[in-house]
Amino acid sequence: MERHYGWVVVAAGAAITCVAMGAMFSLPVYLKPIADDTGWTHAGISAAMTIGFLSMGLGGFFWGTLSDRIGARPVVLIASLLMAGGLVIASRAQHLLLFQIAYGGLVGAAGGAFFAPIMAATVGWFDRNRSLAVSLVSVGAGVAPMIVTPFASLLIQSYGWRNAMLMIALGALVILLPTALLIRRPPLVGLPMNADTVPAGDAPDSTSTSFASVVKTPQFIVLSATFFLCCAAHSGPIFHTVSYAMICGATPIAAAGIYSVEGVAGLFGRLFFGLAADRLGVRKVLVAGLMLQALGIYSYVHINQIDQFYMLAAVLGMAYGGVMPLYSVMARDYFNPQLMGTVLGAAGMISCVGMAFGPIGGGWLYDTYGTYHWLYIASAAVGLGAAAMALAFPPPVRREEEAEGLPRAA
C-alpha cells in the first residue's frame, strides 16, 4: 500500500484543487450580476481578482515554505477554513472595499495553499510517471470550470449572487476538510538524497539545500520568468471572456459554458501534455504549448458567435491547461526535493503577479476603449514572450536514481 499511496495523494489533490480553485475562480460569472446589483464598476470588481492573485502569490510562498516544515495536510486544512471565511464575508459585503479585501485578500491568500504544498507532496511520491501524476492533480483545476462555475451560475440565477457565494463557501468547506486528511508526506522527505536531475554545468547550485542560493540560479530565473509571462498572457482572457461573450449576445448560461469547454479541453491537455512530456521532454512540450496558447488568445479578436467561442475555448483550454502542470515538473528536474514547496511557492508567487495584471488590465482596457480587442492583442504578445523565454531552459542531465530502494509510486 505504501508503494502506491502516491496515487491516493494524486486523487485527493485533484479533488481539493477542483473545489478550491473552482470556488475562487468563479468570480467571472459573478461579475455582471454583482455590477448590476451594486453599481460597482467592472474594473472595481475585477480588482478583487487582481488582489486575489497577488495574495495567492504571497500566500503560496508562505504556505509552500510552511509545508516543507509541517507537511501539506495541516496547511490545506487551515487554508480551507480561511477560504470559506473569506467567501462568507464577501457574500455579505455592502461596500466594494470590503468585498475586495474579503475576496481578494482572504480567499486569494487561501488559494495559495492549494498549489505549491500539494504539488510538492505529489512530485515527492514519484520517480517515474512524474509528469503524468502532476498533470492528474492539476486535472482538478481543469474540472472546476465544468462543475463549480456552471453550478455557481445556476445558483446565482435561482438565489442571487450573495446567497450563491454563501452556499459555495459552505459546500467547499464540507468537501475540503475530510479530503485534506488523505494528504501524506512523501516517504523521502527529510532523508538524505541526491537530486535525480541537475542542470548541466550547475550542479552545486541546483542541489543546494539553501533557498537563497537556489533563487540566484539561471534555472530559477528562467522558470519564474516563463511562469510569470505565461500567466500574465492568459489571466485576462480567462477572466473576461465570459463577459465578452455576453456582450456579443450570448446568454449567461451559454457564456458560462465557455468555462466548461475550457475545462474539458484542459483535461485532455493535461493528460496529453503530461504523457508527451514524459516521452519527448518537458521543455519541448512546454514551448509548443505556450505557442499554441498565444495563437489561441489572439484569435479571440476575430470571433463574435457563441459556437466560435466554444471552438476557441477548446484550443485555449487545452493549451493553458496542458502547460501549467509542467512548471512543477521542471522545478523537480532542477532543484532539491527538500526545498520543493519553497521553490514552487516562490515561482508561484511570481506567476501570480503576472496573473494579477489580466483582470484589472482587461477591465481598464474595456472601460477605456469600449472593446476587449486590445486585451487579446496585448495578451497574445505576452504569450509569445513566454514561449521565447522557455527556450532559455537548459536541458537537465540525468544522474542516479535518488534514494534507491525506498518505497515510491511507479
For 16-33, the pLDDT digits (tens) are: 988 888 888 888 888 889
d(C-alpha 164, C-alpha 51), whole Å: 22
At 71-81, the pLDDT tens digits run 888 999 999 99
In a domain, 288, yes or no: yes
> 167 in helix, strand or coil?
helix
- Helices 72-92, 116-124: axis angle to 10 degrees equals 160
pLDDT digits (tens, 9 = 90+) for 274-286: 888 878 888 889 9
Q: In this predicted structure, what is the pLDDT of residue 3?
A: 57
Q: Indicate the length of the chain as a whole number.
A: 410
Distance of CA 87 to the CA centre of its chain: 19
Q: Among candidates 242, 237, 235, which has minimal Cα distance to 259?
A: 242
Is residue 191 included in any domain, yes or no?
Answer: no
Give domain status of residue 403, yes or no: no
Q: What's the pLDDT band for 92 if we cut at 50, 70, 90?
A: very high
Question: What pLDDT was estimated at residue 407?
Answer: 43
Tens digits of residue pLDDT in 225-274? 999 999 999 988 888 888 888 888 888 778 878 877 887 788 788 888 88
Of 50, 328, 17, the closest CA to residue 176 belongs to 17
pLDDT in the model for residue 379? 93
Give the phi and the psi of residue 372 in degrees, each rounded to 5. -95, 0
Q: Is pLDDT at 405 greater than 50 in this prediction? A: no
Answer yes or no: is 194 within a domain.
Answer: no
Instruction: Tell me the CATH number at 307.
Output: 1.20.1250.20
Range of the domain at 352: 5-185+199-397
Structural domain contains residue 267 = yes
Say how many domains are in the chain.
Answer: 1
Residue 408 lies in a domain: no
Number of other residues whose CB lies within 10 A of the CB of residue 190: 11
Residue 407 is assigned to a structural domain of this protein: no
CA angle, corner 82, sides to 76 and 86, nearest 5?
140
User: What sign for the dihedral angle of Cα 196, 198, 200, 204?
Assistant: negative
Beta-strand ranges (E) seen in 150-221 are 197-199
pLDDT, tens digit (0-9, with 9 covering 90-100), for 361-392 = 888 888 888 888 999 999 999 999 999 999 98
Residue 406, pLDDT score = 40
Q: Is residue 368 part of a domain?
A: yes
